[in-house]
Structure 1
Amino acid sequence: MRSIWVWVIAVAIAIAVVAAIYLLQIPSEKTETSHAATTPTVTTPAEQTTPATTYTTQTSSQATPTAPAQKEVKIRDVLGREVVVKVPVRRVVAIGPGALRLVVYLNATDKLVGIENLETRPPQGRDYAYVLWAKNLTKLPIVGQGGPDTQVNFEAVLKAEPDVIIMSPALANTPDEIQAKTGIPVITVSYGTLGGINFTELFYSIKILGVVLGREQRAEELIDYMKTLMEDLNRRTAGISNRPTVYVGAISFKGGQPFTSTQAQFPPLVLLNTPSIADRYGVKPGMQIQKEAILKEDPQIIFIDLGNYINVAQDFNKSKDFYCSLTAFKEGRVYAILPFNYYWTNIATLFVDAYYMGKVLYPDRFADVDPVKKADEIYTKFLGMPIYQKMAEDFKGGFRELTEFKCG
């Protein structure tokens, strides 16, 4: 009997040993699997194969049905800086003149996590800002004061926790300084010369932002649309031998400006193949032309930027003799255009103004164009909403002859 119990105990011990060995193996396997899932994979961006971006094969494991997988890319911004970013980014801030405008045009406001204090102002004068107000985006956290040549508020930017900072070159801080102090990738975008437009730089900026924001298709559509408008304006105004002399006054630059504020190669006129009297004097954005030069040239048609209407109206009352010495004022050929510049160039409005100016200058060539309908077509394409009527309410009735400037 005793031997039987010894045998039973031996068998039980053997079973326990086998079970223990088996159980010891299971934690080892689980630990290995867990370690493989949590150890970060370090990837190096591939060599750049295109001017703008280079994709790597690394994708994020945190993709969801509403948040697509991210890819690590190397972006070359307009300053030639190469910046590594995981795209499409999910959180973004845009600082400095013109930066936020492009984010709005690309229909990527859902990614904004903060705005500059300047953008909380009423939208008058900034075409894209009507979208900010319509979507209640002026309630977003403030990431800086805003304005040309201003200092970056590093604390406010860091608090917003963006994945990337989109910036204009017209800030006091350099992109490398901002990137070094925040540890956040910085992409610089540009339209060209401040207060003007360089379509090559603009299109490049839109393309790289399309990649960063996951809006590549939207970027291509917008660029193609602008090219279509440019080709149409060129076609309508090509081959005209007898062109009127033109002056465009009261163009904003870093704030309000007087009637004498103008610029050579004014973009809407360039698209219309039409020189301005300012071209002869090489007037750069932000500069002014002498009143004596305007009197000497005596332009046949004058356009006034409604962004500075009040300045012109006040000066007209003070210096009526000057204005009424100009043929355009005496004969009632002074017209209003919508604000061209406000926190850099209003690109959508640039095209809107061009069609209205074309209608005034070359009515036969633009006989089929209704400037108001064309304006809302353009605004809807850029902003997703028609805003001409709102602009007209905000700016003295919009497109019209300025009959209140009466002489005689």
Structure 2
Amino acid sequence: MNKTFKKSVVMVFSVIMVVVVAMSCGCVGENTGANNANTGIDSSNTNDNTNQNAKNSDMGNNAEYITVVDMAGRTVEVPKTINKVIGLGCSLREIVYLNETDKVIAIEQRESVQSKSDDDKFPCGTELPYLAANPELLDLPVAGKAGTSYNYEAILKMNPDVIFMGNNKDAADDLQNKVDIPVVVVYTATIGPEAQNEKYEKSLRLMGTILGKEERAEEILDKIEEYRNDLQSRVSKADVHPSAYIAGRAYSGAHGITTTDPHWPSFELLGANNVAYNVSEISEGKEVSKEQVLAWNPDYIFVSEASLNEVSADLEKPEFKGLSAVSNDRVYKVLPYCWYSFNKDTAIANAYYVGKVLYPEQFADVDPEEKADEIYLFFDGNGAYESISNRMGGYEKFEL
């Protein structure tokens, strides 16, 4: 069907069309399985993303295109030159990491929210590092609600060259068919164990190829490895390795003390002694029993500031007051890593703060707040720690 005709039909009969989809946006409705087998990922061909060709568009332009295979195994033709981009399904974060904020023309509804009530268990845009560092993005038009609906008419009017979408093949097919704009599925889920790291690396390289930012993608991956090596080198010099637990790890909103992550990336980067390590083989939000937390009895507890209200309520209960970390005043707050999908920059920043707490001698030269802004500057283009900590609390002890 001719593109002009097809778009006209959609615009005429869609004042504001929306569609309910099963898309997951990571920790806001986390479904780790959707990032694995359920997306139809073919690991044998995800590297085949640089075959270039040219085609004549239906509009009569001789625009050059490249053919890519996305993270759902879909073959998609995208313009060789990208001037306008939309990131759906929590994929805006990586567009910012790739230094392409000037090409972003829309955001998602949750990202546009600039304030919220104290009992709201979900994030607002000003709590997200990539938006806190680039507040001008908060005022862009809204293209849809992650995981629920898209504004087809608005997307058609904005006419992006490409749309990135996190982790959902069916939603990508549906959107591409309706707006006749290339939609590329990317991996927006967590890092942690090697299998998840590899998916993230492939996805970031794919986005780099499409946006003409291949060198920047490699720079990001090299920097993550550089931080990992520094963290683990410091920890290797320690004689004592206390046990640690992440409490209130957000997924589908905030949770209490019995929600954790067996491979919380900050612990993984650091090589910390995570008491929940054997609960799962991947990084994901996991609910464990109260009895299990008591049996683990970790030396230190770190609380995601996404879940302060919920964890605070739990720590008022008599059964948790006997925990070693609680009785010895070793409970600390960390910035939310899993907050509107996964903030890789925050994972690294948290790792340095956790290192400072667990291994003060080995991290004596580290100021966690300054380190956080160094990391945010590299990933997001500007510092973000002060802005986020003013809303969330920042790096400090948990008042028991």
In 2, the alpha carbon distance for the partners of 1:195 and 1:255 equals 20
Alpha-carbon distance between aligned partners in 2 of 1:229 and 1:401, rounded to the nearest angstrom: 24
- In structure 2, the partner of 1:73 is 66
Distance 1:52 1:296 in 2: 48
- Going from structure 1 to structure 2, the CA distance change for 1:144 and 1:334 (only over 3 Å counts) comes to same
> 2:132 aligned to 130, 133, 142, which one?
130
8 Å Cα contact 1:195-1:344 kept in structure 2:
no
CA separation of 1:387 and 1:131: change in aligned 2, threshold 3 A? closer
| 1:115 maps onto 2:107 in alignment | yes
Deviation of the 1:277 alpha carbon = 1.6
Partner of 1:328: 325
Deviations 1:13-61, CA, capped at 9 Å, x for gaps: xxxxxxxxxxxxxxxxxxxxxxxxxxxxxxxxxxx9963212337899x
1:187 Cα deviation from its structure 2 partner? 0.8
- 1:148-167 mapped onto 2 (5 Å cutoff): 149-167=147-165
User: Which consecutive residues of structure 1, in runs of 5 or more, have no partner in the other structure?
Assistant: 1-47, 61-68
Task: Measure how far apart 1:243 and its partner are.
Answer: 1.7
Between the aligned partners of 1:293 and 1:286, the Cα distance in structure 2 is: 15
Could you tell me whether the CA contact under 8 Å between 1:269 and 1:275 is conserved in 2? yes
Distance 2:157 2:286 in 1: 39
Distance 2:389 2:47 in 1: 43
Residue by residue, what CA displacement relative to the aligned partner does 1:198-217 show, whole Å, maximum 9, x if unpaired? 22122222212122222223
- Matched to 1:125, the amino acid is E
Counting aligned pairs with the same residue, the percent is: 34
AA of the residue aligned to 1:337: V
Give 2:362's match in structure 1, choosing from 354, 362, 365: 365
For 2:22, the equivalent position in structure 1 comes to none
Q: Is the 8 A contact 1:306 1:336 kept in 2?
A: yes
CA RMSD between the two structures: 2.7
1:292 alignment counterpart:
291
Aligned residues: 340
By how many angstroms is 1:124 displaced? 4.0
1:86 to 61, 69, 79: 79
Task: Mark the runs of 5 or more structure 2 residues left unpaired by the alignment.
Answer: 1-44, 115-124
Does the Cα contact within 8 Å between 2:166 and 2:185 map onto a contact in 1?
A: yes
Kindly state the Cα deviation for residue 177 of structure 1 after the two structures are TM-superposed. Answer: 2.4
Q: Look up the match of 1:387.
A: 384
**Following the alignment from structure 2 to structure 1, what is the Cα–Cα distance between the partners of residues 354 and 46?**
43
Which residue pairs with 2:121 in the alignment?
none
What are the Cα deviations for residues 253-272 of structure 1, in whole angstroms up to 9, with x where unaligned? 12111121111111111111
Q: TM-score normalised to the size of structure 2?
A: 0.78
Q: Which residue of 2 aligns with 1:24?
A: none
Alignment correspondent of 1:268: 266
Residues 2-401 of structure 1 mapped to structure 2, 5 A cutoff = 51-56=48-53, 71-96=64-89, 98-122=90-114, 123-133=125-135, 135=136, 137-146=137-146, 149-170=147-168, 173-192=170-189, 198-238=196-236, 242-282=240-280, 285-317=284-316, 319=317, 321-396=318-393, 398-401=394-397
Paired AA for residue 112 in structure 1:
V
Alpha-carbon spacing, 1:59–1:159, altered in 2? closer, same or farther (3 Å): closer
Question: With structure 1 as the length reference, what TM-score do the two structures score?
Answer: 0.77
Q: Distance in 1 between matches of 2:250 and 2:337?
A: 7
SS state of the match for residue 355, structure 2?
A: helix
Distance 1:231 1:59, change over 3 A: farther
Tell me the amino acid that sits aligned with residue 229 of structure 1.
Y
> Displacement of 1:155 after TM fit?
3.0
Contact 1:195 1:253 in 2 (8 A): no
Q: Structure 1: how far apart are the matches of 2:364 and 2:134?
A: 35
AA aligned to 1:77 is D
2:191–2:344 Cα contact (<8 Å) kept? no
- Distance in 1 of aligned mates of 2:168 and 2:127: 19
Q: Give the whole-Å Cα distance in 2 for the aligned partners of 1:151 and 1:243.
A: 46
Report the secondary structure of 1:381's partner residue: helix
Q: Distance in 1 between matches of 2:164 and 2:173?
A: 12
Tell me, yes or no, if the aligned pair for 1:248 and 1:304 is still in contact at 8 Å.
yes
d(CA) in 2 for partners of 1:212, 1:340: 27
For the 8 Å contact 2:191–2:200, the answer to whether it is kept is no
Helix, strand or coil: the match of 2:107?
coil
**Residues 89-136 of structure 1, C-alpha deviations (whole Å, 9 max, x = no match):** 11111111x301111111212112222111111234311121342x2x
